[in-house]
């Protein structure tokens, strides 16, 4: 009888240990964590490109993106998915028209967590050469279409930012041709649309500012006219 009781207690203890180990294993599998393993910057003039390598040190995949806040301006990276053990490089393109030291805050968003890094950088040379004119623009649900004309042939970054804290936009690289109209779009995100001021900088790959304009965005294209205009714009973007 005593042997049976001892055997029963031993069996229950063994089952409890297995159950506890399974719970610990599940806890490890659900861990979400990340770290910034490298950070670099390119350029000393108005155009600054920051490259950030992010490492998924946890045990589940997540989507991540970065925001760079510099003295009232916010610049964003595109969102990427990282599986456990993945390392990916995120790129943030920033525009700065003031020479000197700048104080910046970098925030990594991953899952429901954040990681921050403060740093300073220097802009040594700001050069202007106005060669581009914005002709018109149309605002849609998640992107804005612009038409411009250029006085030179080059490649340039289009960088947009806003005073609105919930405005998210992404840079784009476009090809400009002398004396020809170029149509391009910038992607943006607003959880709820509201009027806002948009700052648009066009900077060539060497960092020379070709144009800097401010727009008051009041409304989006809607209705039948908006739909027709959208179709025309999408066709223009294809050519």
Query: Across residues 44-57, what is the average pLDDT?
Result: 94
Confidence at residue 10, expressed as pLDDT on a 0 to 100 scale: 46
Q: How far apart are the first and last CA of the chain?
A: 89
pLDDT digits (tens, 9 = 90+) for 68-92: 999 888 999 999 999 999 999 999 9
Sign of CA dihedral 85, 49, 103, 143: negative
pTM: 0.79
Which residues, at least 6 apart from 17, have a Cβ–Cβ distance to it below 8 Å? none
- The CATH code of the domain that includes 81 is 2.60.40.10
| C-alpha gyration radius of the chain | 25
Residues 137, 95: Cα–Cα separation, whole Å: 21
Neighbours of 221 (CB within 10 A): 17
223 & 154 share domain: yes
Sign of CA dihedral 130, 132, 134, 139: negative
Domain total of the chain: 2
135 & 119 share domain: no
Residue 9 lies in a domain: no
Which residues in 70-99 are b (16+ Cβ under 10 Å) and which e? beebbbbbeebebeeebeeebebbbbbeee
pLDDT digits (tens, 9 = 90+) for 196-235: 889 999 999 999 999 999 999 888 888 888 888 888 888 8
Which of 123, 138, 156 corresponds to the end of one domain?
Answer: 123
119 & 136 share domain: no
In this prediction, residue 141 has a pLDDT band, given cuts at 50, 70 and 90, of confident
Q: What are phi and psi of 191, to 5 degrees?
A: -60, -45
Which of 79, 102, 123 corresponds to the end of one domain?
Answer: 123
Which of 94, 123, 152 corresponds to the end of one domain?
Answer: 123
Confidence at residue 5, expressed as pLDDT on a 0 to 100 scale: 45
62 & 118 share domain: yes
The answer to whether 185 and 141 have CB atoms below 8 angstroms apart is no
Range of the domain at 233: 129-238
146 & 232 share domain: yes
229 & 134 share domain: yes
Confidence at residue 11, expressed as pLDDT on a 0 to 100 scale: 53
């Amino acid at each position: 009888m005593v042997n049976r009781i001892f055997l029963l207690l031993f069996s229950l203890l063994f089952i409890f240990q297995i159950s506890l180990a399974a719970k610990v294993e599940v806890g490890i599998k659900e861990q979400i964590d990340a770290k910034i393993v490298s950070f670099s910057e390119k350029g000393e003039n108005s155009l600054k490109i920051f490259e950030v390598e992010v490492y998924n040190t946890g045990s589940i995949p997540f989507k991540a993106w970065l925001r760079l806040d510099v003295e009232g301006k916010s610049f964003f990276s595109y969102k990427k998915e990282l599986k456990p053990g993945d390392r990916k490089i995120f790129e943030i393109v920033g525009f700065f028209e003031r020479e000197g030291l700048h104080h910046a805050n970098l925030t990594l968003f991953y899952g429901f967590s954040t990681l921050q890094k403060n740093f300073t950088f220097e802009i040594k040379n700001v050069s202007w050469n106005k060669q581009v004119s914005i002709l018109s623009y149309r605002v849609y649900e998640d992107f804005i279409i612009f038409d411009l004309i250029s006085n030179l042939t080059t490649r340039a970054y289009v960088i947009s930012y806003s005073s609105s804290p919930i405005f998210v936009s992404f840079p784009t690289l476009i090809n400009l041709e002398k004396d020809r109209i170029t149509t391009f779009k910038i992607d943006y995100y607003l959880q709820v649309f509201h009027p806002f001021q948009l700052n648009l900088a066009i900077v060539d790959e060497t960092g020379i500012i070709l144009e800097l304009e401010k727009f008051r965005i009041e409304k989006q294209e809607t209705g039948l006219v908006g739909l027709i205009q959208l179709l025309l714009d999408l066709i223009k973007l294809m050519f």
